[in-house]
Each structure stands twice: as C-alpha cells, then as structure tokens.
Structure 1
Amino acid sequence: MVAQRASLPDGRLHFSHGPIDLIIQADGLPDSIRAAHAHAWQRFETLLSELVDELPALRSPLGEQRLLKGSVAQRMWEACYPFRSGFITPMAAVAGSVAQEIIACYARRNITRASVNNGGDIALYLSAGSSYRVGICTDIDAATEKAAQGLALPADLQLRIDAAMPVRGIATSGWRGRSFSLGIADSVTVLAASAAQADAAATVIANAVNIDDARIKRVPACLLKDETDLGEIPVTVDVPQLDHARVHAALQAGLLQARQLQEQGLIWNAILACQGQVMHLHDHGLSVEPRSTQRIAYDIGKSRYSAVL
C-alpha cells in the first residue's frame, strides 16, 4: 500500500493512503499553488506510517501524560485533552488532525485560500478578506443518494466563513457516518479554531445527543470493527422514528453540551440535526436559504457527509 495522488478535472487534488482520503483545493498564484501542493505531497507520503507506529497509544484512553512523538499524534492528544474526564482516545480527532497538518503547507504568500477535506472533516486556510461558503445537509440519506448519482447536494443551511471569524476547522459526527457514535444525532457539525478541535468536539457533542429508549439498537463496537478504540462500549446502529418531543429532548441534551464547550472557548458554533429537527448555538453567518455549493470532496463508498464547501 503506497500513497497515491491524482488531479481532478476541476483542479483539485486527491491524496489517498489507506484510510486517509483527502481532497485539496487552493486559490492563488499558480507558482505558489504548485509549490504548496509539492510541500503537501511530501508531508503526506510519510503521515500514515507515523500514525501506525503509535497506533496502540492512540487507541488507548487519554491520560494525563502525553506519551506521543509525531506532530499529528500530539495534535490528536491535545484536541482530546479537554474531554479526558470521560472516555475518549486520541482517535476521536484523527481525521481533523491530519487535515490540519496538510493545510499548514498552504499558509504562504500569494495563496488566497485553501481547504483540505478528510472524509468530511475540513481544515481551512484563509488570507485576509477571503471566505468560504459551507453548506450543511441535514438530511443525510438524501444527500448521500444525490451525491452517489453525481447530483448537487441539497444544502439546507448555509454558513459563510470569512477570515475575520475564529474558525479554521469544520467537522461532523453522528451515528449515520463512517465513525461510531454513542448518541442518536444524524449529524453534529462543529466549527472551531482548528480541524482537530472541531473533530474532537463533534464526537463529544454527538455522543450527548441521546435519550433512553429500548427501541434504539446498540452493539458493542468491537463486534462491528476489529481493533476499535471503543472496545465493548455500545455504539448506535439503528434509531427508529421517534416522536417530536423525544427528538427535541435528545437535541437539547446535545445543545447543552455544545454550549458548555462554547463557554470554554473550545468551539465557535455547532449545528445539530436529528430526524428533521435542527438546533444550533447561534445564527451568525447562518442562512436557511439553500444555495448552490461547490463540492470539494466526496468518497461515497466510505462516508456520508453533512458539510460541503
């Protein structure tokens, strides 16, 4: 298994290596973009092997001491450290931390903006005056079906992220994605200062969107995936149609967790969706009018996404 790269018809790059699957977009002067792409590829080639070397520690519950060597592994640990009072491993921030490592290659003169999308967890670089528009798809099934058909995604909400905002990372978690969740949220999209922080926080908030209901099916994670960092912890595999009040209660529990993280300065905003109901911390830059969005990354064979650029 070796790292692979390809140029897409619209000018974006596709880097892949085992479970890591990146779509990279950059705007700016051509020479600067080429230099940044070369730097990003050089960094990407060794990234997976570095993580594999420390995998046992990365799959272990977070402790008070950071016994990790690689820059990405250390970033994963740091992003998860604020949540160490509950069960969490550094793997909760792996996708965002990888995206953040690569986006650093684009923070250079004559690049206006850039994005690195790692399976739906997105790191951004924004120079002064630049911005991205992010579409939030709250209906995961509809979005996945349309993306599989090559159709435009049905963005229900729009966020404009400009350089003046304290946001450089976007991540989504929920029981219907490729990662496991303890809660029942279809999706929780978090905006934070970095992709690593957003990734860890999205995991924690999605776990908090929950209620007790015997009809919700949960299975020990180890029965679904070998060598999972969650071990025998039950994860959600099916959620029946719930009445409005129970969905509302579950979302309120998640929103309370999100508000606590916002007060601690760990996140900027969170958008929580479950069975047609949506809640968010604030509406700064948020629009409910669906507009066309530019897709920057999809790998429908692996993932379901709720945030697109």
Structure 2
Amino acid sequence: MSAQRRLLSPNRWYFQHGPIDLIIQADGDQACVSNAHEQAWGKFQDVLPTLVEELPVLRKAVQAQANNPLNGAIARMMWEACAPLAKASITGHDGFITPMAAVAGSVAQSLLACYQQSGVTRAWVNNGGDIALHLTAGTSSRIGLVSDIARAWAKAPGAQDLLDGELHVTSQMPVRGIATSGWRGRSHSLGIADSVTVLAMTASQADAAVTLIANAVNIFDARILRQPANQMRDDSDLGERCVTVAVPALPAHLVAQALANGHACAQDLHAQGLIHAVLLCCQGQFEYAGQEACLA
C-alpha cells in the first residue's frame, strides 16, 4: 500500500501510510506553507519503508551507554530519545526500553523539520496524539485534554464537554513536544493509567518518557487483566512482558497508589531535565508534576 494524503481544510493535511496517521497544520505565508507541505509529503513517503528496514534492531532493548546502532534518521532519533531512560535507577522502571517507545513522536518530529523555515510562523504534526510543535516568537498553541477516551467515546456525538482541560504552550516555553499514553491506547502499556500526557523539548523525548511514566502508574491486583505482549501481537517488542488488557473500577486508595507510583517516576524524569511537565489520570483521579503554567 502506498502513502495517501487528503486536504482537510486550507493548510491542514491528513497523511496516511500503513499504521501511520498524521494530521498536519501550518500557518504563515501561503507560498511558504504550501512549499513546506509538499516537502513534508515527499519526505513522508519514505518514512515507513525506511523504518521497516531496521525493525529487528528497533525492537531490541536499548543498552545503557552503548553507541547508537541504527542508520536511518528517524530510527536514530528513536534510539537517542530512549537511551537516557535505559537505566534501572529511575523509580518504577527496570531499565528495559526499546526504540519503539519513541516511534510515533519521532515520526512527528522528523516531519516537523519541513516546517521549521522562514515564512512558516506556526505548525504542528499530530501522530495519533503525539504532537511536534513549531512556534515562532509570539505564537502559542492550545491542546485539548481527554483523560479517558472510553468515556469520551460513550458520549453523544457533538457533546460539548468531551475535554477535561487544555494545555497552553507558548513560544517562550521550552516545550515543542507532547505525547500521551495509557492502557487503552494504540500501543500496549504495562500500567493502568487512563492517560498520561507529557510535555518535553521534542515529541520524540515526550513519547519515550510518557511510555515509562504510563507503565509506572501501576499496582498489582488480581482483578486487573494482563496478558503477555507476544500473545497479543506476535511481533511485539515487549516479548513476554505482561501488558494491561482490562482494568475494572478499583477502590480509590488503590488508584491513588498507582498514581503515586507514576508520579514518583515522573518526578525523577523532571529532576533530570528530561520532561517539562506531566499530567497523570486514572479513574477520575489526577496527579501533576512539573510546570503548572502549561495548564490553561
């Protein structure tokens, strides 16, 4: 299957190729924006084939302090985002991480480079909720937050209260990447968070970090259904590690403990300068770490 694209509205495009779905918007001089969109489209067509060539290595655990073994620009970006996290000294983390933890954010980050040029004042590339931002001086972006996608889907179409809040990112902030993960998402999670949203310097870094934090929002309870990842998908990079399949309503104190575990992991990453802020959500309870100025 070849890459496809569709114009959604002026200066807003949808790109799709296999499992990759991007929504891209840009503002600025019309000629510059149009040129950037064409550059991004040309670049996008090689993204999936190039990543597939290196999948065997991308599915292997990153070794701490090792040299980057990958060749492609996006593959190398994935590895670099995960390398600082390949250590067991982070709270709630055993050191295991593969470059695949940063794949969506890295794809978004790579395409964003096409828009970081004169005449484009603002742009974003959204890859399934992992967002790379381009903000020039004086610009900003608002990002809607939905903490529990299952609850949102259950509401009537057109409901006005789907959002639980907003993030406001300005050009003065050291934030150009946002990523969200949870047990209901496209990727498997070891934790029970409905959602964890991380703000970081790049989408690649945010994607890697949010994977760890969402995994750490966890407790051990027999009512939580888990299954080996390779039984869910035989090519999973997680192998026999058990991923979350279903989470029943849990007592409030257990939810609070799971969030506290995730918060401790997030605090570690924030203290190391790897993330700017994070919002953790589980069964109606919330925790926050980092710079609260991002919450609108």
TM-score (normalizing by structure 1): 0.90
Match of 1:154 among 154, 157, 162: 162
Partner of 2:6: 6
Map 1:134-173 → 2, pairs under 5 A: 134-146=143-155, 149=157, 154-173=162-181
Asked whether the equivalents of residues 137 and 153 of structure 1 are also in contact (C-alpha less than 8 Å), the reply is no
Partner of 2:264: 256
4+ runs of 1 displaced by more than 2 Å?
A: 142-146, 148-153
Q: CA deviation at 1:145?
A: 3.9
Partner of 1:70: 72
Partner of 1:49: 49
What is the CA deviation profile of residues 118-159 of structure 1, one whole-angstrom value per residue up to 9, with x for unaligned ones?
01100000001000011111132232345x936556211222
Q: How far apart in 2 are the matches of 1:104 and 1:173?
A: 24
Partner of 1:234: 242
Q: Does 1:199 align with 2:207?
A: yes
Q: Does 1:280 align with 2:278?
A: no
Q: CA deviation at 1:186?
A: 0.5
Gaps of 5+ in 1: 288-309
Q: CA deviation at 1:160?
A: 0.9
Partner of 1:246: 254
Q: Does 1:19 align with 2:19?
A: yes
What is the CA deviation profile of residues 60-116 of structure 1, one whole-angstrom value per residue up to 9, with x for unaligned ones?
111223110000000000000011121110000000000000001001111110000
Gaps of 5+ in 2: 88-94
Partner of 1:118: 127
Taking every aligned residue pair, what percent have the same amino acid on both sides?
Answer: 56
Q: CA deviation at 1:11?
A: 4.1
Higher relative contact order (CA 8 A, sep 6+): 1
Q: How far apart in 2 are the matches of 1:228 and 1:15?
A: 25
Task: Pick which of 129-138 and 88-97 moved more.
Answer: 129-138
Asked whether the equivalents of residues 138 and 278 of structure 1 are also in contact (C-alpha less than 8 Å), the reply is no
Q: How far apart in 2 are the matches of 1:175 and 1:285?
A: 24
Q: How far apart in 1 are the matches of 2:128 and 2:160?
A: 18
- Matched to 1:111, the amino acid is V
Q: How far apart in 1 are the matches of 2:6 and 2:22?
A: 11
Matched length:
286
Match of 1:188 among 179, 196, 206: 196
Q: How far apart in 1 are the matches of 2:275 and 2:269?
A: 6
What is the CA deviation profile of residues 206-241 of structure 1, one whole-angstrom value per residue up to 9, with x for unaligned ones?
000011111111000011112110111100001111
Task: Pick which of 7-16 and 24-33 moved more.
Answer: 7-16
SS across alignment from 1:33? helix
- The RMSD of aligned alpha carbons is 1.3
Partner of 1:222: 230
Asked whether the equivalents of residues 181 and 214 of structure 2 are also in contact (C-alpha less than 8 Å), the reply is yes
Partner of 1:266: 274
Asked whether the equivalents of residues 77 and 204 of structure 2 are also in contact (C-alpha less than 8 Å), the reply is yes
- Matched to 1:50, the amino acid is T
